[in-house]
Structure 1
Amino acid sequence: MSVIRIKDNKETLEIRFADIRKYHGSLALMAVAVGFRSLQAAFGELFGTGEAPQRKSISVLSGHAGPGFRDAFEFVTRAVTRGAYTVDTAYPQGQYDPHRPQSYAFVISTDDGSAVEVVLQENFLPSVFYDYLKKGREQTFTEADIAAFDELKLSLSERALALPAEELLYVRRIR
């Protein structure tokens, strides 16, 4: 399985999806997987394949307020703890949820001003995913819905980890 390399002062850490999953649990597995892959893609664009960035140099703007994305970004970068994490659900790219403003786009930036926008491909999440989210917010889930949604999130997380990056994400340098 692939890793994300990041420096914590002088130590270079290798973080795997399984590490973040242990931290997060299973509530939002799709988001954890997409967050993990988003950081991989952003770091590849910003630093190439050989260099591991310093944790303290990374800031994250997340268009999604959910716990899976937050936990993936926090575990790798500690951006939430450091006050370098911002949520903007009105971010214009990646607005796919038909029931509410919520962006599946992220801007990963460095303290030198470089930045990359990473957007989940529009066709990755099926419409039923958004319907389940709505039912959860409205507390109208049935036991069957909960089981089906858990199965869908697991399937989507596995798919997010297996797809080539360009089939999962749109990545562009913005600064």
Structure 2
Amino acid sequence: MSVIHIRDRQDMLEISFEDICKYHGGVALMAVAVGFRSLQVAFEELFGNEIPERKSISIFSGHGGPGFRDAFEYVTRAVTRGAYHVDTAYPVGQYDPFRPQSYAFVISSEAGASVEITLNDHFLPMAFYEYLKKGREETMTEADINIFKVLKQSLAEEALATPLEELFTIRRIQ
């Protein structure tokens, strides 16, 4: 099982995807999984083998959805600390053909180093965006809801199993 290690003052926490799912629920599992994995790659890039301190991390998200927000909040408490900002117009990772929504995240340390993590464009199928659009327009049937739930679960499992370098494009900013 894959975990993230993070320090919270004197405590060293070990957080799994399953832990975040208990906090989030089951609405946006793909986003929870991608958010979890983006933190893994960002921490590796920014801190190497050192375990980061929660209070030292800030996050800029190009996506305003609850799955990403909850993954970032549960691990870093960035939302609670006021260190979490969203701008869906961020120009990188704009794959949704129906609305501005970026699948890119900039994770920064208080030391000034930042890394941009972008979900690779081939990961989400067009059907994913079409179901999102139907949901916003409130035109989903019960069958659509069930199919979309299975799709999100499948994408979450794929995100957790895909090697980080195949899932994301990683760009060091500072």
TM range (shorter): over 0.9
Instruction: Classify the secondary structure of the residue corresponding to 1:112.
Output: coil
Deviations 1:132-169 (A, max 9, x none): 00000000000110000000000000000000011111
Q: CA RMSD in A?
A: 0.5
**One-letter code aligned to 2:46:** L
Q: 2:127 maps to which residue? A: 128
- What are the residue-to-residue correspondences of 1:12-91 with 2, within 5 Å? 12-48=12-48, 50-91=49-90
Kindly report which structure 2 residues correspond to 1:108-119, keeping only aligned pairs within 5 A, or say none. 108-119=107-118
TM-score (norm. length: structure 1): 0.99
List per-residue Cα deviations over 1:19-59 (Å, max 9, x = no partner): 001100100000000000000000000011x2110000100
- Equivalent AA in structure 1 for residue 17 of structure 2: F
Match of 1:5 in 2: 5
State the one-letter code of the partner of 1:23: Y
User: How far apart, in 2, do the equivalents of 1:169 and 1:25 lie?
Assistant: 24
1:103 equivalent in structure 2: 102
Which residue type is aligned with residue 71 of structure 2?
A
Give the secondary structure class of the aligned counterpart of 1:122. coil
Q: What is the Cα deviation at residue 2 of structure 1?
A: 1.1
Residue 168 of structure 2: aligned partner: 169
Q: 1-side partners of 2:10 and 2:116: how far apart? A: 28
Question: How many correspondences in the alignment?
Answer: 174
Partners of 1:57 and 1:173 in 2: CA distance: 17
| Contiguous gaps of at least 5 residues in structure 2 | none
The equivalences for 1:149-160 within 5 A come to 149-160=148-159
Percent of paired sites with the same residue: 71
Aligned equivalents of 2:165, 2:110: Cα separation in 1: 26
TM-score after normalising by structure 2:
0.99
- Alpha-carbon offset, residue 112 of structure 1: 1.2
Distance in 1 separating the partners of 2:2 and 2:127: 29
User: Does 2:125 match 1:142?
Assistant: no
Question: Which aligned runs of 4 or more in structure 1 are off by greater than 4 angstroms?
Answer: none
What per-residue deviation string (whole Å, max 9, x for no partner) do you get for residues 102-155 of structure 1?
Answer: 000000001111100000000000001000000000000001100000000000
